[in-house]
Amino acid sequence: MKTSEILWAAREEIAKGWCKNTLQNPQGKVCAAGALQRVILQTSNVYGKTWDDDLIKQYETAAAALVAAIPECPMIDGGELDGEGHFIIKSIPSIPLWNDNPRRIQQDVMDTFEKAAIMAEEAGL
């Protein structure tokens, strides 16, 4: 599935029901990150199973496309190992912090997914 298709499908999941402060609430509504996860797992026919490298790459690519459509995405401290096994601290964008902003509304999230999907289409993703 292309990145743009994942983003369009995730937008539809948000349109069905959106939530904050959790990936999915008891009513089945999802946050931005939860919508990406649901689409990727459902379309891969492994929903409820372990993420493999391909699914992780799909999620990372779609999440990066979404972040590119978010002006001033909030950052959190994170890190990674460098080639020599040293932990490097760096700031990384946080889709959950953006989603959970008290001023954020469902339409904002849907509009951002739409913008990200269009940008991904234009990039051939």
pLDDT band for position 10 (cuts 50, 70, 90): very high
Give 20-39 pLDDT, tens digit per residue.
Answer: 999 999 999 999 999 998 99
Q: Cα–Cα distance between 68 and 93 in angstroms, integer?
A: 10
Residue with the larger pLDDT of the pair 116 and 75: 116
Q: Record the pTM.
A: 0.82
Q: Do 67 and 93 touch, CB atoms closer than 8 A?
A: yes
Q: What is the pLDDT of residues 79-113, one digit of tens each?
A: 667 777 777 666 677 899 899 999 999 999 999 99
pLDDT at residue 41, rounded to an integer? 83
So where are the chain's domains? 3-122
Which residue in the block uniquely carries the two structure tokens 């009513």?
27
Phi, psi for 68 (deg, rounded to 5): -60, -25
pLDDT in tens, 47-74: 556 666 777 788 889 999 999 999 887 7
pLDDT of 6 above 90: yes
